[in-house]
């Protein structure tokens, strides 16, 4: 009887550890999926913007009328140094279901012959880096290079 109790106790402890690990894994997978979704939503929004600012074509970063107002962003580099917690939708409404997440964007000009090299003047390519962190830990970092395609600005 004592031997059976010991065996059952060992099995119960092992089962509890197994279920705890399964729960942790499911949570981590859900957090990773949410991070990927937030990054993909942001790049889709950015890809829908003009390459050049339609009002001040040589301006880099948000203009005075766009500072802190993502709904007013009208070109790719307006997103430069955009970071918010919790993430917001395009109109600035907080996405409260992602309260522990931070979504950040940086934009830079890159060389036409080497996308790893930052350049001071536009050579027709902008690199967009989208980072998503959860509880202060970076989970996703996506890099995209967007080309200036004359005639395709919206």
Give me the tens of pLDDT residue by residue for the chain, a chain 154 residues long. Answer: 888 888 888 888 777 787 777 777 788 899 999 999 999 999 999 999 999 988 888 889 888 888 878 888 999 999 999 999 999 998 888 999 999 999 999 999 999 999 999 999 999 999 999 999 999 999 999 999 999 976 554 4
For residue 137, give both structure tokens.
């830990």
Q: Is residue 44 part of a domain?
A: yes
What's the predicted TM-score (pTM) here? 0.80
Answer positive or negative: Cα dihedral of 94, 82, 102, 25: positive
- What is the count of structural domains for the chain? 1
- Please report how many Cα atoms fall inside a 13 Å half-sphere around the Cα of residue 13, on the Cβ side: 6
Contact 39, 142 (CB under 8 A): yes
Q: Is residue 93 part of a domain?
A: yes
Q: Is residue 116 part of a domain?
A: yes
Q: Is residue 152 part of a domain?
A: no
Where in the sequence is the domain holding 102, given as residue range(s)?
A: 2-147
Contact 120, 109 (CB under 8 A): yes
């Amino acid at each position: 009887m004592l031997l059976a109790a010991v065996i059952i106790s060992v099995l119960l402890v092992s089962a509890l550890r197994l279920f705890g690990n399964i729960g942790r894994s499911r949570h981590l997978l859900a957090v990773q999926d949410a991070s990927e979704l937030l990054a993909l939503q942001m790049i889709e929004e950015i890809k829908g913007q003009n390459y050049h600012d339609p009002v001040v074509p040589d301006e880099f970063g948000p203009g005075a009328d766009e500072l802190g107002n993502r709904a007013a962003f009208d070109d790719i580099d307006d997103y430069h140094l955009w970071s918010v917690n919790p993430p917001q939708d395009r109109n600035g409404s907080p996405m409260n279901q992602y309260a522990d997440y931070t979504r950040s964007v940086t934009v830079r000009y890159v060389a036409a012959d080497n996308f790893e090299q930052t350049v001071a003047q536009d050579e027709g390519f902008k690199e967009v880096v989208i980072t998503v962190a959860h509880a202060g830990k970076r989970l996703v970092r996506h890099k995209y290079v967007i080309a200036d395609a004359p005639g395709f600005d919206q």
